């Protein structure tokens, strides 16, 4: 079996370092092309979108060359949100969709995400087969069957038109003042356009990408700028997207931030009341707050937990017939509308709820009382295995004993960065901090 290229969300790493090099992108393109080109015709096509990172140009060209070398015709969308690639892959009848983005990471990272012809992210099995093809090489197309490539200028507009249809026709955003923070990323044009066309007064933030400022002090992982803008302009609500616009954080009129758990709770409650929450459950990951679980149980609803990664949320939703899920980090998945997390779609659904209920953002964005939760990250170097160190195992066992019956502990490797994530929940905040800090100290020592 080939070395593992794929993490929890595609292939990701620092630009111009393995595996995020032009060479690997070329091989990935050729491998994916061979995997999806099921016959020898020239009728197969792939759509490629990207965010605004400097390295996107390099990877886009390398992927295009690899795909064309195996006979795939490439349609280049330019900067568009990740969910736009999922949508357009399906609507344009493409065999494959590719998004070049490292999501919420800094500009010096990048990633490559793959979507199947149904618009959903690829399964682990499909990614494994593509990895094997990268390692073993592929048969190239004959000279007369090399693929073509062309720009598709209307991709963004097609996505904007689609996203507007998810808002009920009776809902008008006229009179609403909305701050939209696009993180200097993929939605820097699409998101303000959609809100303006729906009638809102739009105050844009993070809409001047330069290749290096994506997610820099803006977006869903750095909400301070948007919160200050909401207060300064007296806005009704703020919508904060990440670099590829598949995540969202909501800021109410007071500047308070609501994460994915609060947004999902609001939506689950409203959908259940309307009889449209399929399966009577919300799908979320092990990272979601215990308060969310208690809120749902109090309304006779269930919380289906998965491992971390929106793709695993989607897989559980599809397997169980559920239509609402997501992550605390802001991935909100609504399979009635989309095949993957869509920050702008979730933001529009929140704003539509404001209009329909006549409530302020603060009334909708604080649905349940959170259980105190602490998350700390420890960076480690390639080749290190700090979680296998005996001192780390010992302190984890002690922490689990201390939390028994009082809270929960979750420790895992990030699937997108070389980080160990240490998360705990407990009503006793003193115990919470003690447990997390003890574990972090031992992991840091083991990581040098």
Q: Two tokens at 329?
A: 């980090």
Residue 446 · residue 392 · CB < 8 Å:
yes
Identify the helix (H) or strand (E) that includes residue 62.
helix 56-69
Instruction: State the pairing for strand pair 248-251/257-258.
Output: antiparallel
Beta strands in 108-227 (DSSP E): 109-115, 149-151, 177-181, 201-205
Helix (H, G, I), strand (E, B) or coil at 78: strand
Conformation bin of residue 326: beta by default, left when phi > 0, alpha when psi is -120 to 50:
left
Is 228 strand, coil or helix?
helix
Would you please indicate which residues are annotated as catalytic (active-site) residues?
Answer: 103
As beta bridge partners, residue 181 has 205, 240
DSSP β-bridge partners for residue 49: 78, 99
Q: Cβ neighbours of residue 361 under 8 Å, at least 6 residues apart?
A: 236, 237, 250, 251, 252, 253, 350, 354
Cβ-Cβ contacts under 8 Å for 67 (sequence gap 6 or more): 29, 30, 32, 33, 46, 74, 147
Q: At what angle do helices 343-357 and 190-197 cross, to 10 degrees?
A: 20
Contact yes or no for 114/130 (Cβ under 8 A):
yes
Q: Which region, left, alpha or beta, applies to residue 183 given φ > 0 means left and ψ of -120 to 50 means alpha?
A: left
Instruction: Evaluate the omega torsion of the peptide bond into residue 335 and state whether it is cis, within 30 degrees of 0.
Output: no
């Amino acid at each position: 079996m080939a070395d593992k290229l794929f993490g929890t969300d595609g292939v990701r790493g620092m630009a111009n370092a393995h595996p995020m090099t032009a060479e690997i992108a070329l091989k990935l393109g050729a491998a994916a092309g061979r995997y999806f080109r099921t016959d020898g015709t020239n009728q197969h096509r792939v759509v490629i979108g990207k965010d605004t990172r400097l390295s996107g140009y390099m990877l886009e060209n390398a992927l295009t060359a690899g795909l064309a070398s195996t006979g795939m015709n490439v349609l280049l969308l330019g900067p568009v949100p990740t969910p736009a690639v999922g949508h357009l892959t399906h609507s344009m009848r493409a065999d494959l969709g590719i998004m070049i983005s490292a999501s919420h990471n800094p500009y010096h990272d990048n990633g490559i995400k793959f979507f199947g012809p149904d618009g959903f992210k690829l399964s682990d099995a499909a990614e494994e087969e593509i990895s094997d093809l990268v390692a073993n090489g592929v048969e190239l197309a004959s000279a007369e069957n090399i693929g073509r490539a062309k720009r598709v200028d209307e991709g963004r507009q097609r996505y904007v038109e689609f996203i507007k249809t998810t808002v009920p026709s009776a809902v008008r955003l006229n009179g609403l003042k909305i701050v939209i923070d696009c993180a200097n990323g993929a939605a820097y044009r699409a998101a303000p356009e959609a809100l303006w066309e729906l009638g809102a007064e739009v105050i844009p933030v993070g809409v001047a990408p330069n290749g290096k400022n994506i997610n820099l002090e803006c977006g869903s992982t750095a909400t301070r700028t948007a919160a200050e803008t909401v207060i300064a302009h007296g806005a009704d609500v703020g919508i904060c997207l990440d670099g590829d616009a598949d995540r969202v954080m909501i800021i109410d009129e007071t500047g308070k931030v609501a994460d994915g758990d609060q947004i999902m709770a609001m939506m689950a409650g409203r959908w259940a009341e309307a009889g449209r929450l399929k399966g009577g459950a919300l799908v979320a990951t092990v990272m979601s707050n215990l308060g969310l679980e208690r809120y749902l149980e109090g309304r006779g609803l269930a919380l289906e937990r998965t491992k971390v990664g929106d793709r695993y949320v989607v897989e559980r939703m599809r397997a169980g017939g559920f239509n609402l899920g997501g992550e605390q980090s802001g991935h909100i998945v609504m399979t009635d509308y989309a095949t993957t997390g869509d920050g702008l779609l979730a933001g529009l659904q929140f704003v539509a709820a404001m209009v329909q209920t006549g409530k302020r953002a603060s009334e909708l964005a604080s649905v349940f009382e959170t259980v105190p939760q602490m998350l700390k990250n420890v960076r480690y170097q390639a080749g290190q295995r700090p979680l296998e160190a005996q001192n780390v195992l010992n302190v984890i066992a002690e922490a689990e004993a201390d939390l028994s019956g009082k809270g929960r502990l979750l420790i895992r490797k990030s699937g997108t960065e070389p980080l160990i994530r240490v998360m705990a929940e407990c009503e006793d905040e003193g115990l919470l901090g003690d447990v997390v800090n003890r574990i972090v100290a031992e992991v840091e020592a083991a990581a040098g």
